[in-house]
Structure 1
Amino acid sequence: MPRTLTDEQRDLVDAIGRFCRSECGTKARRDELTGHGTEPHNQELYAKMAELGWLGIAVPEEYGGSGLGMRDLCLFLEETAYGRAPISGFGTTIISAAAYEKYGSEEQKRKVLAGVVQGRVEAVSMSEPGAGSDVGALVCRAEPVEGGYVVNGQKTWCSNAHIADHILLVARTSRDGSKHDGLTQFMVPTDTEGLKISGIDTMGGREVNDLYFSDCFLPDSAVVGTPGQGWKQLMAGLNLERMMLAALMLGTARRAFDDTVDYVRQREQFGRPIGSFQALKHRIADMATELECARLLLDDVAETIDAEPGRVFPREASMAKLKCTELAKHVTLEGMQMLGGYGYATEYGMESLLRSTVVSTVYGGTSEIQRDIIGKTYGL
């Protein structure tokens, strides 16, 4: 089914496709850019995208961006994921930038938002060893002192902290009220004294980190928004985070699907292409149908958000995140099965697509949490 795009959106999609084929279109080139898959972000490639003006797609024009909406942002994310561009820093950067845009001081906005357009990376830190899905259980403490706050504690699973200029930290400044009260957001330069960033080795390469705060002083000017209102500020950004993850995984699923179809058309066994066997043909048909459903859902939710940018759409955004991430994991697993032994070989790339999708049903709110949110919107 053809996609309904404006001329500008179609030009953007086409340009991204050409760029990715030219800059990272081969396995050898991607290995060169990513240290054989161990570094999912390449700053040189990222800087080229900045020069093209793409990184500021969702940044307001007054800060040097294009000021476009959710649909355009999702298209960018989907197409760069389909093209396998190693720019993992973009996701956390835009999530952080949105928080600064909405709640930050003018000085914070100009520093961060202008940096996004120029190709700087930002990170956001919420999770702790004892607090993942339950954000209200955070214990990393920012103690108020004269002129600012002193932070002590550990954060974990912080994506891109090691390549970021700043970390948008969520810490506890008070224990008054409910567990969701007393959380505050801070802008923390990554070279701040008392902050140690330690990488966590994962099957996806070097992307996430532990953060250790030891008597780390932050001035009052580091507060983003209103002290004690960090939970409400986080909730206001859920549309963006979930839609971004959905778009990235839809692009990855499309890539895995197309690679699988190419393989089963060419691979012959028993004297004919394996894709001609009903067992595979029907699975391909099912995946194609599910991909179309996911695309229509994502496009519809993105357009709904653009029509009412001030509203939060917890049901719809969670549906998009749930559908696209679960589908991406399914498609890459099916792709690995259909490629047989070659699915495990790094030469064909399906194994790296699988590695990038299996975690997508965990980060940004697990699939179980997304289902719980959707259920709650029906009064359950």
Structure 2
Amino acid sequence: MPMPLSPEQQDFVTALREFARRECGTREQRDALAAEVGGPHSPALYAKLAALGWLGVCLPEEYGGAGGGMTDACLFLEECAHGLVPAGGFITSVISAKAYEKFGSPAQKKAAIGGAVAGQVLAIAMSEPDAGSDVAALRCRAERAQDGGWLINGHKAWISNAHLAEYILLVARTGGRSESRDNGRPGRGDKHTGLTMFHLPTATPGVDIRGIDTMGGREVNDVYLTDVRLPADAVVGEADHAWAQLMAGLNAERLFLAAHMLGLSRRIFDDTLAHVREREQFGRPVGSFQALRHRLADLATEIGCAGLLVRDVAAHCDAEPERLFPREASMAKLKATETAKHAALEGMQMMGGYGYATEYDMERHLRTAVISTVYGGTSEIQRDIIGKTYGL
């Protein structure tokens, strides 16, 4: 472990590792679980995690959670990734639930946070075909209806876990204007103003969720919104002021993604080490050759550094829960995801053809690691955020 844990946290980690070994410790078990929905989320196993009370690790006790902090959530994500636990719905669920915790009404909190603790999946819809890294350029529009509610039309893209979700935390434009063209005319005004969060049940008429085929199976979706009607109280937080609310949530998202990729990096290292210890060429294990031994030493050092950074940022977030850590969260996301990608490429190279074969986990690790440098803000965006915090 990169940093000391409390006795309770160590017990939690031990329990998570035993669960992973028991439920998905073999390739056959993991393949059977993955076949449920064709992606990295098993509803059956997720229900077991909910029954153990672990899905609410960092959510309020008032809604059934354990009341833990960011460090506890990061430990959960790290160990799930290391144990290859197919709980892909957790990250979007906890990110959304934390937003509801800060800004939601009592009824919204009960539905969303309580649902997340019980095993329901939540999703968050920000990105659009023309608004990815530049999220503030989104054009999905919510307009006031005559009955005081909202009428929403638009197209969201690359929405993780929308096909599994009970609720979507939707971000739409309610005022201001995007800098991109709107209705054929150039937009004017500050694109960061006039954004609003909405509590959207996926069963609402007019919501059409269509999967996007990817290397990782079904993980992301297009979400089409056609004359979707929501009541006035569907607004999460304050209308027209979602940008500041989003910034608070994105810091948590980056830290959670970093913790997940830290766990995958550790797993990649362990799988690579096991292979080079057993694989023999020229009469001895290939790991005994200096070329591989030094690569593994460098990789272990990089993973250790990433672990220290992730755990340190989580500890700071727990110590000052009302403070944002944009520089530190982006650093953690950048370092952990790039380390995971580097580790997977190194692992495949050191395993040779075995790393490329679907019989082994390494090719799956590579697919998972590569996309981590894109979602949740690309590595280029993370570097830009870090640079801006230095006044550049």
Which band: TM-score by shorter chain? over 0.9
1:202 counterpart letter in structure 2: T
2:246 & 2:352 partners in 1: Cα distance?
43
2:175 & 2:110 partners in 1: Cα distance?
29
Q: Residue 130 of structure 1 corresponds to which residue in structure 2?
A: 130
Among 209, 228, 235, the residue aligned to 1:223: 235
1:36 & 1:125 partners in 2: Cα distance?
24
After TM superposition, the structure 1 stretch with the greater mean CA deviation from structure 2, 331-340 or 33-42, is 33-42
1:238 & 1:37 partners in 2: Cα distance?
27
2:106 counterpart letter in structure 1: E
Q: Is the 8 A contact 2:2 2:304 kept in 1?
A: no
Deviation, 1:38, is 2.8
1:315 counterpart letter in structure 2: R
Q: Is the 8 A contact 2:2 2:308 kept in 1?
A: no
> Residues 334, 36 of structure 1: CA spacing in aligned structure 2 closer, same or farther, 3 A cutoff?
farther
Deviation, 1:37, is 8.8
2:3 & 2:333 partners in 1: Cα distance?
20
Identify unmatched segments of 5+ residues in structure 2: 178-188
Q: Residue 339 of structure 1 corresponds to which residue in structure 2?
A: 351
2:265 & 2:5 partners in 1: Cα distance?
20
Deviation, 1:274, is 0.3
Q: Residue 93 of structure 2 corresponds to which residue in structure 1?
A: 93
Q: Residue 209 of structure 1 corresponds to which residue in structure 2?
A: 221
Q: Does residue 1:32 correspond to 2:68, yes or no?
A: no
RMSD: 1.1
After TM superposition, the structure 1 stretch with the greater mean CA deviation from structure 2, 144-153 or 31-40, is 31-40
1:304 & 1:198 partners in 2: Cα distance?
39
1:91 & 1:170 partners in 2: Cα distance?
18
1:351 aligns to what SS in structure 2?
helix
Give a deviation string over 1:342-367, Cα, whole Å, max 9, x none: 01111111000111110000010100
Q: Residue 8 of structure 2 corresponds to which residue in structure 1?
A: 8
Identify unmatched segments of 5+ residues in structure 1: none
2:313 & 2:206 partners in 1: Cα distance?
42
2:311 & 2:193 partners in 1: Cα distance?
35
Deviation, 1:314, is 0.7
Matches within 5 A, 1:151-300: 151-175=152-176, 177-300=189-312
Q: Is the 8 A contact 1:78 1:249 kept in 2?
A: yes
2:196 & 2:159 partners in 1: Cα distance?
17
Aligned identity (percent) is: 64
1:162 aligns to what SS in structure 2?
coil
2:163 aligns to what SS in structure 1?
helix
Q: Residue 120 of structure 1 corresponds to which residue in structure 2?
A: 120
Among 368, 371, 380, the residue aligned to 1:359: 371
Q: Residue 182 of structure 2 corresponds to which residue in structure 1?
A: none
2:81 & 2:173 partners in 1: Cα distance?
35
Deviation, 1:36, is 8.6
1:165 aligns to what SS in structure 2?
strand
Q: Is the 8 A contact 1:31 1:37 kept in 2?
A: no
Deviation, 1:153, is 1.1
Q: Residue 324 of structure 2 corresponds to which residue in structure 1?
A: 312
1:255 counterpart letter in structure 2: R
Q: Residue 41 of structure 1 corresponds to which residue in structure 2?
A: 41
Q: Residue 371 of structure 1 corresponds to which residue in structure 2?
A: 383
Q: How many equivalent residue pairs? A: 380
Q: Does residue 1:53 correspond to 2:65, yes or no?
A: no
**TM (normalized to structure 1)?**
0.98
Deviation, 1:3, is 3.4
Q: Is the 8 A contact 1:30 1:36 kept in 2?
A: no
Among 328, 336, 351, the residue aligned to 1:324: 336
2:335 & 2:275 partners in 1: Cα distance?
25
1:278 & 1:251 partners in 2: Cα distance?
26
Give a deviation string over 1:139-185, Cα, whole Å, max 9, x none: 01111112211111100000111110011000001126510000000
Q: Is the 8 A contact 2:36 2:42 kept in 1?
A: no
1:76 & 1:157 partners in 2: Cα distance?
25
Give a deviation string over 1:13-62, Cα, whole Å, max 9, x none: 00000000000010000000001993211011001011111001011011
Q: Residue 23 of structure 2 corresponds to which residue in structure 1?
A: 23
Q: Is the 8 A contact 2:128 2:156 kept in 1?
A: yes
2:37 & 2:379 partners in 1: Cα distance?
26
1:374 & 1:8 partners in 2: Cα distance?
34
Q: Is the 8 A contact 1:164 1:190 kept in 2?
A: yes
2:136 & 2:86 partners in 1: Cα distance?
33
Deviation, 1:114, is 0.9
Q: Is the 8 A contact 1:101 1:113 kept in 2?
A: yes
2:352 aligns to what SS in structure 1?
helix
